Amino acid sequence: MQSITAAALQQKILDKEDFQLIDVREPEEHEEFNIGGELIPLGEIMQQAEKIAADKPVIIYCRKGIRSQVAIQRLQEKFQLTNLINLIGGTEAWKKEFALNS
C-alpha cells in the first residue's frame, strides 16, 4: 500500500499538485477538524466509489490512518485502483506535524 507523510502531503498542497483528497471519517469528525478533503465516510465508500478519481493520485485519510487503510484495501480489491495513497497517522499526525491543537 502506498503511503504519504503529513509533511509530504503539505508540500503537494503548496505545490498545487493535481490530486484528490478524501476524508473517510464521520461527518462530526470532519466538521471538528479537516485538512480540506472531500468527506466520504468509510461506511459509504463502496457506494460512492464513482466519486474517486482513477486518473490521478487519491490521498485518503482518517484520524489515525486505520480506517483509511481499510478503505484503500476495499477499493483496491473491488475496483483494482492503483492510485490510492494512505496518509500515515491521519489527522493526528497532521496536527502533530503542524502543531495544531485538537
pLDDT by 10s per residue, the chain, length 102: 999 999 999 999 999 999 999 999 999 999 999 999 999 999 999 999 999 999 999 999 999 999 999 999 999 999 999 999 999 999 999 999 987 654
Would you name the residues annotated as active-site residues?
Answer: 62
Domains of the chain: 2-97 (3.40.250.10)
Query: What is the rounded distance in angstroms from the CA atom of residue 90 to the CA atom of residue 51?
Result: 21
Query: What is the rounded distance in angstroms from the CA atom of residue 62 to the CA atom of residue 23?
Result: 6
Query: What is the rounded distance in angstroms from the CA atom of residue 92 to the CA atom of residue 62?
Result: 9
Contact 28, 34 (CB under 8 A): no
pLDDT of 78 reads 97
pLDDT of 57 reads 98
What is the secondary structure of the chain as a DSSP string?
-EEE-HHHHHHHHHTT---EEEE-S-HHHHHH--SSPEE--GGGTTTTGGGS-SSS-EEEE-SSSHHHHHHHHHHHHHH----EEEETTHHHHHHHHTT---
pLDDT of 51 reads 97
Give every strand in the sheet of 58-61, ordered side by side.
2-4, 84-87, 58-61, 20-23, 38-39
